[in-house]
Amino acid sequence: MKLGIAAVYLAGEDDAGLLELHLSRIAANTSEPYTIYAAANRLPPRLRPLLERDPAVRICHLPDTALRGGDEHAFYLELLVAAAIEDGATHVCILHLDSFPIRPGWASGLAALLQGNCVLAGLLRDERRDRKPLTAFMLFTREFYLTHRPSLRLSPEVLASPEYLRYAQRIPHEADTGAGYGFAIHANGLSWHPLVRTDRGPAGWGFGIYGGLVFHLGGAAWWPYVTGVAAHPWQRRAGRCLESLARVGRAVFPRALWARISAVSPLALRNQAGAAQLAARKARLLAGPDSYLEELRTGTAR
């Protein structure tokens, strides 16, 4: 097994501890030969040495993009996956800055499940509302990638196609990064192994331990968009509507007046709540990773 790990490091200035934890847990739990293919185009300069000093990390020189949010993340991930395949990786794993394996043997154990029509193992965020592999953790085979050339995001033309609309009706999911892999698996009569949440911690959208193998903090990899933490799809759709209204408000109202209005808007309040929750979970994780993960597993504080 030759494992390629693709990770986009869109981090904040205060994310040194989280990045160090992410790298150290990959190293501690991965005995198979691996290389981390890293996108660091917008990583704060003071954090770059953390990647440079890790012998398993290869910082890829990728073109910059004006895309932001999920589109930017997907843009870099596509290039990283292609780089891993070009280097001869037999399996490719996608991780976020705030996700990492927590059990030794995770890679070989999951790779053994990828036989026949089963071509991918991935984190399943929500069985009822988001039945697709999430890029916080995806492991797939070289053969699947080369044969079907899946894309992480789907073009507007594909999203409007009858085939995709039938798929979306049958398999509820968020059409964000990872949806293209789910669609490719379905369209080609293949299957995937979902890692469902197994811990007993508090509720969270994408937060927790999955399959007993992978931890995902949720939100830290998207630090400019922390409103998504623990938000259900309808809440995020409402947030996008509020963001559209905010753009209109900024154009219509004088700057000082709009600042006063937006400070008490539902979007601002949701931002504050999401940021506070993410900050609390992140602080608890970094203060004692082992005790926090055990607390999540058992549902009992130590």
Question: Rounded to whole angstroms, how far apart are CA atoms 156 and 173?
Answer: 16
- Point out the domain boundary residue: 173, 206, 223: 223
Average pLDDT over residues 83-99: 97
pLDDT 10s digits, 197-233? 999 888 777 889 999 999 999 877 554 443 333 344 4
Answer yes or no: do 183 and 240 share one domain: no
Question: What confidence score (pLDDT) does residue 235 get?
Answer: 44
pLDDT 10s digits, 169-195? 999 998 888 999 999 999 999 999 999
CATH code for the domain in which residue 43 is found: 3.90.550
- Point out the domain boundary residue: 223, 249, 265: 223
Answer yes or no: do 287 and 167 share one domain: no
What mean pLDDT is reported for the chain?
A: 86
Total number of domains constituting the chain: 2
Answer yes or no: do 127 and 70 share one domain: yes
Question: What confidence score (pLDDT) does residue 218 get?
Answer: 85
Answer yes or no: do 159 and 293 share one domain: no
- Domain residues for 144? 3-223
